Amino acid sequence: MANKMWGGRFSSGPAQIMEEINASIGFDQRLHAQDIAGSKAHAKMLGAKGILTKADVKEIIRGLNQVQSEIASGDFKFSRSLEDIHMNIEQRLKDIIGEPAGRLHTGRSRNDQVATDFRLYIRDCLDMLDGQIGSLQKALAKNAEKYADVIMPGFTHLQTAQPVTFGHHMLAYVEMFARDRSRLADARKRMNENPLGAAALAGTSFPIDRYMTSRELGFDRPMRNSLDAVSDRDFVLETLSAASISAMHLSRMAEELVIWSSSQFKFVSLSDKFSTGSSIMPQKRNPDAAELVRAKIGRIFGALTSLTMVMKGLPLAYSKDMQEDKEPAFDAIDSYSLALAAMTGMVKDLKPNKDILRQAATNGFSTATDLADWLVRVLGMPFRDAHHVTGSLVAVAEKKNVDLSDLSLEDMQKVEPNITKEVFKVLTVEASAASRTSLGGTAPKNVAREAKRWLKKLG
């Protein structure tokens, strides 16, 4: 039996394997709200232009509302034989209102219909993700304010570099996620154009009003080229690209939480809410939430690569290959959203171990740069000479197995006779951090001020 939706040209139905590979209802049913919204806008426009009667439009809207209610309540029966969400809704609409349902598709095609639905869906997701990133930023900024003066080691090459504050570290991620939000906002602005009315690929001979449907659906404007409207998925690619960059930031932070919560570091503690145990080792406390965030990021990167591969060889306009745009995008956005939620929970939950962090900040001669700066500032020494002197003093301290602040004045003056006891004032980790008052520096007063600024901005 031929498919009722497109069967006029065909005398028999598809082979079972053809139905298996062709059907998308198993995943594109999540576009139901967007599909119904697009159909309502299209029907209203057809009525306004006199292409459909007011009575038909009224019936179509009534029927679509019923379909929407059935899906929401779980009473809607999705049919694999009807291929996709568009045909499933249209067939049910026909069951409810009869002949007027067949007039709804006037002046449009499944090609522009799915492009419209998918744009609406991605736009909704971008709005959701923006809110989630904002919540994560707020959690980070609150920690920054709370722990503005907690000293910890700053790292380069995962080796102790200079003392920083825990709050400063939190604010670094606030800044990163702010840029992520900006990229997603840019993607939203660019993609907010309406493909509806492009029809299959060439537009339509009906006197439609694409500006009206754009207004109805919240698009900024109609797309200007019908071929482009149905044949590109760059709006999905751009979303996945921006999401991938943000996901990379999430993964870096997750990696730090894995390291910081280990028994080797003990920089932070995560409660039972975000830790698990071992089936055999009763002492274990595993940061599984952070590890899973780190792992899920690969699915987002993979989705971007997958869709790029799908699109790279397609001539204009539409090809069925493009049905493969949705599953990886859905999975990537789901994974990204879940990772954001998990990271926000962990940031709210974590407790920095202040004494351990401070002790770690004193290791590795972390105040060496402060010593070099003192030599420049007080003795007027060129920085390169000060760097050499400081390196020599580090070598002395290393040989004695002590920190720079534990060297005697006599030890220091053997290397540089003009050094005075005043130098010891800059060799504490607190003094080091407090001295970094330049814009963007780690001084606690800077951090407290920046945290307040961000919290005010985030609302």
Active-site positions read 157, 278
Extended strands (E) in 231-375: 268-269, 351-352
* 3-state SS assignment for residue 222: strand
> Residue 439: enclosing H or E segment and its boundaries?
none
Residue 247 corresponds to which tokens in the numbers above? 């996901």
Collapse the DSSP code of 247 into the 3-class scheme (helix H, G, I; strand E, B; otherwise coil) and give the result: helix
Are the C-beta atoms of residues 151 and 162 closer than 8 Å to each other? Answer: no
Confirm if 392 and 415 have CB atoms less than 8 A apart: yes
Query: Strand 151-156 to strand 159-165: parallel, antiparallel, or no bridges (unpaired)?
Result: antiparallel
41 contact partners, CB below 8 Å, separation of at least 6:
196, 212, 213, 216, 217
**CB-based contact 168:140 (threshold 8 Å):** no
Cα 297 to Cα 245: distance, rounded to the nearest angstrom:
10
Picking from 178, 328, 182, 162, the residue whose alpha carbon sits closest to that of residue 249 is 178
Upstream peptide bond of 451 is cis (omega within 30 degrees of 0): no
211-218 contact pairs (CB < 8 A, 24+): 212/41, 212/44, 212/45, 212/48, 213/38, 213/41, 213/42, 213/45, 216/40, 216/41, 216/44, 216/45, 217/37, 217/38, 217/41, 217/116, 217/120, 218/123, 218/192
